[in-house]
Amino acid sequence: MVDDKKILEVKNLKKYFNINSGVFFGKSIGSVKAVDDISFFIKKGETFGLVGESGCGKSTVARLLIRLLRPTSGEVFYNDINIFKIKQSQMFKLRREMQIIFQDPYASLSPRMTIGDIVGEPLEIHRILDKKSRINKIKETLKIVGLNPEHINRYPHEFSGGQRQRVGIARALILEPKFVICDEPVSALDVSVQAQILNLMLDLQKEFNLTYLFIAHDLSVVKYVSNRIAVMYLGKIVEVAPSEELYSKPLHPYTMGLLSAIPIPDPRLERKRQRIILSGDVPSPINPPTGCRFHPRCPNAQEICSKQEPELKNYSKDNQVHLAACFFAGQPIK
Amino acid sequence: MNENLDDKILEVKNLKTYFYTDNGVVKAVDGVSFDLKKGETLGIVGETGSGKSITALTILGLITIPPGKIESGEIIFEGKDLLKVKINNLRHFRGNRISMIFQDPMTSLNPVFTIGNQLIEAILAHQKISKEEAYKKAIELLEMVGISDTKRRMKNYPHEFSGGMKQRAMIAMAIANSPSILIADEPTTALDVTIQAQILELIDDLKSKTNSSVILITHDLGVIAKYAERVMVMYAGKPVEFASINEIFYNTLHPYTLGLLGSVSKLNEQKKERLKPIKGTPPSLIDLPIGCTFAPRCEFALKVCKQSFPPVTEEVPGHFVACYRAKEFLNKSLSRE
């Protein structure tokens, strides 16, 4: 149930990390432009996918959205509230509605706490329910994510990777949030378990009318879960489109390269497919290339690309929104 | 099958590698048999703990004994059983005739030596040539794997290389002695998507240039679909299905392979079909279920499946499968809903 109301809106968000030299009296010698002027919105009830390779700034975006980091500049509106302008105590209340599921189910659960304590901790922090009803709530939540409620006193090491990720999901869901950030929730899991977790997340979304921001590097997984997808490259959003359209009509050469790099598990089709292999590595975000940041790797690059930075523009002919930041958007790759 | 026996470059027969730990015996590889033909790419697919890496390490004689022990089996390469070759002579094969590209390029290179140093070492270990010649050869190798500015790069330390370049350097080392078999164990898992494509293309390219065979170990069915000619699917230490690429994908006969195929979302799918995952999780290798190891997770399991492990049968020429109900999958009377 996607409705038109924006649950989250990001405007010109920037996050630069300073690099200091020297151990004690370090002076700033530059900055990593992890997130550099990005804007997007997420509608209520939808899944918004954010894809990009390592170092493109997608996890920094996640941390900014729940104010685990302060931005260099820019605004984030959650239900029309600017989260960087409110007091800590108000943010604390808001966090009940915004939860995050982390990538590594091995590192994100404390090995010294029982499953019950881990899942119940948010209730304790937010002082919700008394002790007895908390236990009932924990058991209920464990059941929802497909775990045996009787395992409430077990420790994380007794569980497999997939089960641990279910614990992580239970912890995020126990406060009945409205907006959940999923930061690479399945990339540490085996294929058969990945599918279980993805299905669980889709079921939970329907049941509790959740809005997801789904961050991943695997475009086939993102396409499977998302309504709309944004592609990031070196701290910038280069393309935003409905997921089906992003696959069928990619406009940005980076998106084309990314799509083409993913082999499809269908040998007849895969062997016929024309592949675009992007050359080179992702450059360092400390000194990103001038102009369009993708131009050193872009097979379509012209002179203008190294001089001027392309803006995100809408290229959709029908009523949809399909944004791309490229001077030669939609041009096939030679 | 009227196969030319000379075509086989490697033959593994009933290989069993166990580990004796305090908690019990881990049957990491439990009866693996396969053959590798000249010039082909053989894919080995399976999830964590299915025994695919241990199979590769056993071929190279890299299992630590104890706790590891090779219980039985034969690894026939160039007419010799590698399991019977003395440790000192094994060096003649390892890294020379058979070499390996490891999963994690970040930890597989020695951080205190330059790339050039490590490359030259790999060359001199097997070839009787002078240092100058080895240096020249190393530069040629780096060029071959697509690293530019080679003279400067030779002097670099691993930390000065990006992930993709480290993997290229690893590949250069692996092909330094023109091996006839290249084992690539998840060569791209640690890399970004676009770099992954570059590395896989490179391996494929080098394979045809040097006319070697490749064993490609991966969990990514897309990679298999693109590069492999035949595939062995492993589950809990045992091969469950072994066939040509088209047979595996379009005439699947084992429920585990079906489950794997149902678990991946396809990028090209127009309609959003719900994924059909396999229920449950892989078993512990210490405490394997009696009968077929996949039976507890199998939606088609019969009584017999829980009593004994099904024999491997050849249902279609060249298509081997270990399942009591393979015939039903073959005549399409059985399929996942």
Q: Does A318 touch chain B (CB under 8 A)?
A: no
Q: Which of A247, A258, A264 lies nearest to residue B194, judging by beta carbons?
A: A258
**Cα-based distances in Å from A5 to A305, B135, B272:** 36, 65, 24
CB-CB under 8 Å, A162 with B263: no
Query: Which amino acid belongs to residue A33?
Result: K
Q: How many domains does chain B have?
A: 1
Q: Which of A260, A266, A281 sits opposite B225 (nearest CB)?
A: A266
CB atoms within 10 A of CB A276: 18
Extents of the domains making up chain A: 6-21+31-242
Q: How far apart are CA A143 and CA A148, in angstroms?
A: 6
**What Rg value do the Cα atoms of chain B yield, rounded?**
21
For residue A196, the chain B residue with the least C-alpha distance is B277
Would the CB atoms of B47 and A263 count as touching at under 8 Å? no
3-class SS letters over chain B: CCCCHHHEEEEEEEEEEEEEECCEEEEEEEEEEEEEECCCEEEEECCCCCCHHHHHHHHCCCCCCCCEEEEEEEEEECCEEHHHCCHHHHHHHECCCEEEECCCHHHHCCCCCCHHHHHHHHHHCCCCCCHHHHHHHHHHHHHHCCCCCHHHHHCCCHHHCCHHHHHHHHHHHHCCCCCCEEEEECCCCCCCHHHHHHHHHHHHHHHHHHCCEEEEEECCHHHHHHHCCEEEEEECCEEEEEEEHHHHHHCCCCHHHHHHHHHCCCCCCCCCCCCCCCCCCCCCCCCCCCCCCCHHHCCCCCCHHHCCCCCCEEEECCEEECCCCHHHHHCCCCCCC
**A221 contacts in chain B (CB < 8 Å):** 265
Strands A98-101 and A179-183: parallel
Does B154 map to a domain? no
Dihedral of the alpha carbons of B205, B207, B210, B211, in degrees to the nearest 10: -130
Q: Which residues have C-beta within 8 Å of that of residue B333, sequence separation ≥ 6?
A: none
Cβ-based neighbour number of residue A30 at 10 Å: 13
Contacts of A200 in chain B (CB under 8 A): none
Is residue A52 within 8 angstroms of chain B, CB to CB? no
pTM to 2 decimals? 0.85
Q: Please, is B230 exposed, middle or buried when counting C-beta atoms within 10 Å of its C-beta (0-12, 13-18, 19+)?
A: buried
- Residue B1: the pLDDT is 40
Per DSSP, the three-state class of A136 is: helix
End-to-end Cα separation, chain B, in angstroms: 34
Instruction: Report the pLDDT averaged over residues B252-264.
Output: 91
Gap from B84 CA to chain A (nearest CA, Å): 35
**B195/A contact by beta carbon, under 8 A:** yes
**Spatial separation of the C-alpha atoms in residues B242 and B67, rounded to whole Å:** 29
What's the full length of chain B, in residues?
Answer: 337
What percent of chain B is modeled with pLDDT above 70? 97
Q: Could you identify the residue written with the tokens 């239900």?
A: A79
Q: Which domain holds residue B93?
A: 8-107+180-266+274-330
- CB nearest to B225's CB, from A199, A270, A279: A270
Using a CB–CB cutoff of 8 Å, tell me whether B151 touches chain A: no
Whose tokens are 């030669």? That residue is A328
Q: How far is A123 from chain B (nearest CA, A)?
A: 29
Does 2.130.10.10 match the CATH number of domain A6-21+31-242? no
pLDDT band at A31 (very low <50, low <70, confident <90, very high): confident
Q: How far is A27 from chain B (nearest CA, A)?
A: 24
Residue B3's pLDDT is what? 46
A152 token code pair: 């409430």
What's the average model confidence in pLDDT over B117-145? 89
Q: Give the torsion sign (CA, A194, A206, A250, A102).
A: negative
| Chain B CB within 8 Å of residue A147 CB | no
Backbone angles phi and psi of B23, in degrees to 5? -90, -10
Confidence of residue B2 (pLDDT cuts 50, 70, 90): very low
Tell me the average pLDDT across A11-33. Answer: 82
Q: CA of B196, closest CA in chain A: separation in Å?
A: 8
* pLDDT at residue A334 greater than cutoff 80: no
CA distance A331 to A317: 16
Can you tell me the distance from the alpha carbon of A321 to that of B114, in angstroms, rounded to the nearest whole number?
Answer: 50
Could you give the C-alpha distances from A74 to A94, A168, A233, A324, B40, in angstroms and in order?
19, 30, 19, 21, 55
Min Cα separation A307/chain B (Å): 25
> Which tens digits make up the pLDDT trace of A273-287?
888 888 887 888 888
- A-chain residues near B193 (CB < 8 A): 53, 217-219, 258, 261-262
User: Torsion angle of alpha carbons B106, B111, B113, B115, nearest 10°?
Assistant: 20
Question: pLDDT tens digits for B204-252?
Answer: 988 888 889 999 999 889 899 999 999 999 999 999 999 999 999 999 9
Average pLDDT score over chain B: 87
Helices marked H in A3-56: none
CB contact under 8 A, B226 and A219: no
Asked whether residue B203 is domain-assigned, the answer is: yes
Q: What is the pLDDT of residues B49-104, one digit of tens each?
A: 888 889 999 998 888 888 888 888 999 988 888 888 887 888 888 888 899 988 88
Q: Which residues of chain B have a CB within 8 Å of the CB of A257?
A: 194
Interchain contact, A261 vs B194, CB within 8 Å: yes
Q: Is residue B161 part of a domain?
A: no
The rounded distance, in Å, linking the Cα atoms of A83 and B265 is 35
ipTM of the complex: 0.81
Chain A: closest CA distance from residue B263 (Å): 5
Taking only Cα atoms into account, the Rg of chain A, rounded to an integer number of angstroms, comes to 21
Classify residue B113: in a domain, yes or no. Answer: no
Please answer yes or no on whether A282 and B263 come within 8 Å at the CB atom. Answer: no
CB contact under 8 A, A190 and B259: no
Average pLDDT over residues A5-28: 84
The CA distance from B185 to B55, in Å, is 10
Chain A CB contacts of B46 below 8 Å: none
Q: Measure the CA–CA gap between B291 and B9, rounded to whole angstroms.
A: 33
Position A44 scores a pLDDT of 92
Q: What does the pLDDT read at residue B14?
A: 92
- Is A107 in CB contact (< 8 Å) with chain B? no
